[in-house]
Each structure stands twice: as structure tokens, then as C-alpha cells.
Amino acid sequence: MINYLKKIKKKYYVLLLLFLLILFLPSKNIKNNSIAVVNIQGVILESKKIIKALDKFSKDDNIKAIVLRINSPGGSVAPSQEIFHKVNDIKSSKVKPIITSVGNVAASGGYYIAIGSDVIVANSGSIVGSIGVIMSYPIAEKFLDNIGINFNTYKSGEFKDSGSPYRQNTENDDEYFNEVVSDLHSQFTKEVSVHRNIDLKYLNNYSKGQIFTGNKAYSIGLIDTVGTFEDALNISKNLANISGDLDIVYPDYEKYSFLNEFISFYNLTFKNYLLPMFLMN
């Protein structure tokens, strides 16, 4: 058993050493006429990393175009808006084209980001849309009563504890939250109407939270063309007047992703070993 633990420990130190060596390797030089690909995946809860990458690529003269590869069902409103505004700023600057390629899904906040780009490309079977806003919270009052726990709340105003799980919602709470949701939804639909050049009255038929296939989204006007990631790269290449082979560049934070596969060779996981050590301690 002791020998086995020593072997595991040795392997762990080898992985640690390898990680540190790779971490401090100099980045490769970006070739002229490169296209940057920025992946936006999963639930959108923060914007800093994506915005930093977009800002860097937008200022790099060697990067001639940017492709957003979106595979996201949406997320929080504010981070989605922040990324959208950065994308739209790049488009408005006309310094270089920025294209969206939809993978499996660009819904809700994911689609919000996409409308800021010059061109939106989605597969025929991609899920697009979900132009809507949702807010929900649990009410645990009965559960807490059953286990004998009571909560007293002292507040400075009627709505200070709106959304609390410790009490039932009131009619005023419902009206209050519906106003918030309605305002956020109005912001969303207006941006879609402006950036997709769709009449707001017409758009209202398709902005009730529905999702659409890529084919249907194209017929509505939510995307520009049906196509693949490769098609999006070719569109970027043409818009940027790039000739010859493409050199694709990714953000710095993505360059260590291959470590996951290497670590799995030793039946370890990045989440359980490296992340706690370097990011969570």
C-alpha cells in the first residue's frame, strides 16, 4: 500500500512539474492574416474573460477577423449584455469583421450576444432564439414550518425581502417582479429588432421565449445564413480579404485545455486535483 501511494505521489509531482513548465512557456507568435476564435460555452455567469479576449484580438493587427463560436443556452442578463456590447463595438468600429457561428445552441443570453456580430451562421439543426426573460425562486415556508423553524424579517421597505424563500409572495410582489421581467424583455427585443432589422410588431410573434431550429430562425430573420463552423470561417476569410491557408488563434486561457486529456491517462481529473491547488486554495 505504501509503495502504491508513493507511485501515485510521484505521478502527481510529474504532472505538477509539467503543468508549471507549460504555464511559463512563451506563447507562439501570431501570424499575419490570422482569425481568432472565441468560444462562448455553457451558462453565461461572467463576462470579464470573454471581453478581455475580444478586446485583445480587436486591437491585434495580425488578427484580421474574429469568430464567436457560441454554444450556450443563456445565463445572467448583465454579463450577456456586457459581452454583446463589446461584440457590437467591434462591429461598429469596422476595423475587422466579427462573425458568430452557432454550435448546438445560441439561446436567450447566447443569442443576445450573437446579434451584436456582423453575420450569424447556424447549422440547420442548431437551436436559436428563446428571446425572453425568466425569474424564479423557491418558497420554503411550509417546509420550514414542518421542521419547526420560523424566520423573523425586519425591513426598510415593502419590497426589500421580495423573493425571500421564507414567506409566500404577495400580489404586490408579483406585480413588482413582472415589471422587472417586462423591462428586461423589452430591452432584449428592442436590441434584436434594431440589430436584426426586424419590425418590432413582427418580432413580437417570435419573442415569447420560443426556440427555433436554424432553418426556422433563418426564415424569421434571426440569423443570416444556414451553415457550419467551416462556413463561418470562410465567410470571415472573405470579409477580411484573406488569401491562402488560415491560421486560427484561440485566447490564452484555452491553450491548456489539452491537459485534461493528459491527466485522465492517470485516472485523475483536472477538477479534483489541479483546480483545487491552483485556483481554489
pLDDT at 11: 59
Residue ranges for the chain with pLDDT beneath 70: 1-31, 255-281
Instruction: Report strand pairing: 119-122 vs 127-129.
Output: unpaired
- 153 and 119 belong to one structural domain: no
Q: Is 12 part of any domain?
A: no
Q: Is 48 part of any domain?
A: yes
Q: Which of 6, 59, 160, 190 is catalytic?
A: 160
Query: 3-class DSSP state for residue 206?
Result: helix
Grid cell for residue 158: 415593502
Hey, CA dihedral for 197, 202, 207, 212, is it positive or negative?
Answer: negative
Q: Which of 34, 80, 101, 108 is catalytic?
A: 108
Structural domains of the chain, count: 3
- 123 and 234 belong to one structural domain: yes
Q: Is 6 part of any domain?
A: no
The Cα-based distances of 106 to 22, 194, 234, 266 in angstroms read 33, 18, 20, 35
- 266 and 159 belong to one structural domain: no
Q: Is 33 part of any domain?
A: yes
**Is 107 within 8 Å of 74 (Cβ atoms)?**
yes
Cα 242 from Cα 135, distance rounded (Å): 45
- 38 and 119 belong to one structural domain: yes
108 is catalytic: yes
- 138 and 126 belong to one structural domain: no
Grid cell for residue 113: 450576444
Domain of residue 144 covers 134-198
- 36 and 125 belong to one structural domain: yes
pLDDT at 20: 55
pLDDT at 146: 85
pLDDT tens-digit series, residues 208-237: 999 999 999 999 999 999 999 999 999 999
pLDDT tens-digit series, residues 25-53: 555 555 678 899 999 999 999 999 999 99
pLDDT at 52: 94
pLDDT at 267: 43
Q: Where are the alpha helices (DSSP H) in the chain?
A: 2-23, 48-59, 77-93, 109-114, 141-146, 171-195, 200-203, 214-220, 229-239, 259-264, 275
- 111 and 230 belong to one structural domain: yes
Please report, for the domain that includes residue 74, its CATH number. Answer: 3.90.226.10
6 is catalytic: no
- 112 and 152 belong to one structural domain: no
According to DSSP, the residues that pair with 40 across neighbouring strands are 70
